[in-house]
Amino acid sequence: MNKKELEEVKKVVRNVPDFPAKGIQFKDLTTLFKDAKALRTVADALVDLYRDKGVTKVVGIEARGFIGGSILATELGAGFVPLRKPGKLPAITIKKSYTKEYGVDVIEIHQDAITPDDVVVIHDDLLATGGTMMAAYELVKTMNPKKIYISFICGLKFLGGLEKFPPEVEVTTLFDY
């Protein structure tokens, strides 16, 4: 992972004040996704992290987690599993409610998406308070995979989301604010 290149990527992320609510400084990674060089740098860094870990499934959290998650799954030769909002998946699902910075939400996964033989990376674009990812982790954990890794492109350290995860879980951010 090239730290200098990731520092350049960090500069591409747009800050949007008062979105989605007053007082929140939203880190908009769509500016990173539309920049081919930045996207390639992030893709390469993610793949480098998980290349030798035996990953069989990448779970992407709706919606921006689908972007990096799909890239990661493709590059690792793993399957991709979408984690979605209620009512979006067509087969039988299991779900988890959670609290986030500005409300309560629910996520769902197909009940047959993960097996005990899987090594899973759960991916999202940004770690804020950790509520969404913690719910995703707890949901995937109920499916008893061999191992779970947690991956973010960036993190907002000042919000303390990293502290929500148990110490035995490897949580990675490519860069932080």
Place of tokens 């995979």: 145
Which parts of 88-161 fold into alpha helices (H)?
131-141
What's the alpha-carbon Rg for the chain, to the nearest Å?
Answer: 15
Tokens of 136: 């995703």
Residue positions annotated with a catalytic role: 64, 101
Strands in 147-155's sheet, in edge-to-edge order, are 79-83, 57-61, 119-127, 147-155, 170-176
Element (H, E) at 76: helix 65-76
Residue 71 and residue 38: Cα distance in Å, rounded?
13
With contact defined as beta carbons under 8 Å apart, do 120 and 144 qualify? no
